[in-house]
Chains A and B, each alone.
Chain A
Amino acid sequence: MRPATSTVESLTLQIDGKDISCRSGETILQVARDNNIDIPTLCFLEGLTVWGGCRLCMVEIAGSPKLHAACATTCAEGMVVSTASPRLKEYRKMIVEMLFAERNHVCAVCVSNGHCELQNMAVKLEIDHVRFPYRFPHLEVDNSHDAMRLDQNRCILCVRCVRVCGEIEGAHTKDVKGRGVLAAIIHDLDQPWGESETCTACGKCVNVCPTGALTHRGTAVGEMTKKAQFLPYLTLMREAKS
């Protein structure tokens, strides 16, 4: 999202050796993408508030000892950003491997097989094995809703669904319970989805979910495709109205 700044100035910065100009207030991620520099993300989705949870978009900024999340860092004049150093690539691999180790991602039997952002990310980052011990947690599938299903085994806790539900649909049916690896998506006061009184069954959460965690019922292995493109359009329309 573009933070509202009253005085927009133009800035110049360098990303991966490329000289780029942008407007003040824009994030490194936006500017990189506008210039065809790909910074991987999983929790970011244009149209939703910045979350900063997946940590895949970490970049190096010259002169700073720390890494910075590109989605949450605004550009500054003269910044020199590097998005794909060997260290960053290695960290990204580890993060995605950890996501695979955390829950039960058995792609071969998943409805999202072939259309999954997590799977695509693994391919893009050239991950061919997971170095971490798997957790194999026992997790539930919430099948109580007429039209949609939540499979906790495939959830990566990006909370795109929570954000779209609260920020765009305005229902705030979804939220998170617990902490650490025990954190999980819930509906209302942790009741079965089908019993939720606030869910409008709009289906936005299914469309923004990057994995096979949220799906339409009645889809078979590999059949579930998602359409998250509605979001930028919706937010653009809203901004135009207000």
Chain B
Amino acid sequence: MKPEELISMMEKARADSSAFEHEIRVCTESGCMSLQSDTLLKALGDEVKTRGMTDKICVKGVGCMGLCCNGPLVQADTAMYQFAKPEHASAIVQGLSTQPVAELLCNTQQPFFTRQKLVVRENSGHVDPESLVDCIAHGAYQALLKALTTMTPHQVIQEISDSGLRGRGGAGFPTGLKWATVSKAGGSDKYVICNGDEGDPGAFMDRSVMEGDPHRVLEGMAIAAYAVGAENGVIYVRAEYPLAVKRLTKAINLARRHELIGHNIFGTKFSFNVELRLGAGAFVCGEETALIASVEGKRGVPRPRPPYPANSGLFGCPTLINNVETYANVAPIINKGAAWFAQIGTEKSKGTKIFALTGTVKNCGLIEVAMGMPLREIIYDIAGGVPNGKAFKAVQTGGPSGGCIPAELLDITVDYESLAKAGSIMGSGGMIVMDETSNMVDVARFFMEFCMTESCGKCVPCRVGTYEMHQLLNRICEKRGTPEDLQLLKDLCGMVKQTSLCGLGQSAPNPVLSTLRYFEHEYLDLVNQTQAAHADQSPAATGEHIELEVLP
């Protein structure tokens, strides 16, 4: 595609869409789809057809609008509808020319919507992810055009560095620095990889970006490839995300057909190709070196770093690996400039972050907020607080590598540093809210079970350590634990954290450590109950330690 073609395609698509008098948008991401939003979309289309208004009303499937727990969500002109069902199709279409359907109306002036800051998700809920034309009408590939035709690779990297963007995959590594390292690495063959393995329980931010605005991810990768000097890209998506796979496949095919990826993009010397690879259901394959091994066709286990992928990654070549959300931030930064991006967020954490709100809160779903928002505001204003008159107890952030933050720390702000200081991490953006009925030892046990079953088995501390910690947590939860068990649990936490090979093992003790830090009394209560129950029995009855002779 030539630059002029992109512009004329955009202008034509915009003119075409403004020719419609009305627009109905239906969420067609996994959450709403599971509530038959696809049937609803079809019913709306049929309704418009029977009324003979196809030239006046545009009906399209779009990405997530955020308030997933009230889905399916429909936007009909200015009215947002919640809990919409196929049988509401006629009323919704009728409502366009008369009054909106009152009983379905969703208040878009509530803090859930007004307190958000949309950067990555600005087009989610507006564009049809399966239509390249619609995405282009909303500005897709303009940043790529700008980068390829008006900026040097060095300038692109400088822009990303100046923006202060940090990796959204968990660790928050400065993205510009990573790009600069890969660009400086020797060798002609380089790769860019997009990490879409998203395996944290309760997290679905990346899925939403891939399902709702796949071209934005491709565009970010293409810009990254240009910046670091790579010609090939791989998107690694977990196979449990079939819709994301479908949408990405379609996006890649369309972009290829229109020469937005391929040889000599926009008539420049830059060529870029992308392939999609599916994960096979292993959490550890989200770890970068395991992911690379998996793409190479090997068993997906991590390897010691250094060498880092930036120097020796896929097939031994310098490789840039970033998270889906990281790439999705690139196009707006190139379009609007580093300074614009850097004014959002805090001093060290720039931009916005998407969170997946789940657990016992009124509003579950996806939100995007500026970094630095107090946790209290997210949980009480945006998420609407804990329902059914229960008291808030803790919020778990960062998935199995993160920790639980108690009520007394709700005033901390959400950014990399303060979450880490509170004993948790930003992680990929899962936020699980728990009310007073949650047992924190049980929460720790849940995450430990996850780590135990997801440990790849390569290194001993994680393989056996997570198993032993899970056993100990089981015993404590079942009121069979002794003070010695609790001590052993603590010792294991330190050892597993310090000696494991990869991030999975190194962070597996975090849920235990953070619950011990803020809720140790719950552990002690359970242990004391064991003591009381067994006070009149021999100590041997409380545990099942069997001492075996190991030496000859």
Contact = CB atoms under 8 A, between A and B. Distances in A.
Given A55-B501, A69-B304, A179 B282 contact: yes
Nearest to A87: B498
Nearest to B464: A98
A69 to B, nearest CB: 6
A178 B457 contact: yes
Contacts of A66: 498
B149 interface: no
A181 B551 contact: no
B303 interface: yes
Contacts of B306: 74
Interface string B62-97: 000000000000000000000000000000000000
A179 B552 contact: no
A24 B284 CA distance: 32
Interface in B267-302: 282, 284, 299
Contact of B464 (A101, A131, A176): A101
A181 B549 contact: no
A95 B501 contact: no
From B457, B463, B464, B467, residue with most partner A Cβ within 10 Å: B464
Contacts of A67: 498-499
Nearest to A129: B547
Interface stretch (A105-113, A190-198, A210-218): A105-113
Interface in A105-130: 105-108, 113-114, 119, 122-123, 127-130
B19 interface: no
Interface of B: 282, 284, 299, 303-304, 306, 452-461, 463-468, 471-472, 488, 491-492, 495, 498-501, 543-552
A106 B552 CA distance: 9
A179 B454 contact: yes
24 contacts: A52-B303, A53-B460, A54-B460, A55-B461, A55-B500, A58-B499, A66-B498, A73-B304, A90-B495, A94-B495, A98-B464, A99-B460, A100-B550, A108-B552, A129-B550, A133-B468, A133-B544, A135-B467, A175-B299, A176-B299, A179-B453, A180-B456, A180-B466, A181-B455
B500 A180 contact: no
A161 interface: no
B456 A179 contact: yes
Contacts of A131: 488
A233 interface: no
B460 A55 contact: yes
Given A178-B457, A179-B456, A53 B501 contact: yes
Interface in A47-89: 50-55, 58, 66-67, 69, 72-74
B551 A122 contact: yes
B491 A122 contact: no
Contacts of B492: 94
Given A50-B304, A52-B501, A95-B499, A133 B458 contact: no
Contacts of B488: 131-132
Contacts of B546: 133-134
A199 interface: no
B459 A55 contact: yes
B463 A157 contact: yes
B173 to A, nearest CB: 16
Interface in A179-213: 179-183
A134 B548 contact: yes
A183 B463 CA distance: 9
Contacts of B501: 52-53, 55, 69
Contacts of A73: 304
A102 interface: yes
B458 A53 contact: yes
Contacts of A114: 552
A132 to B, nearest CB: 5
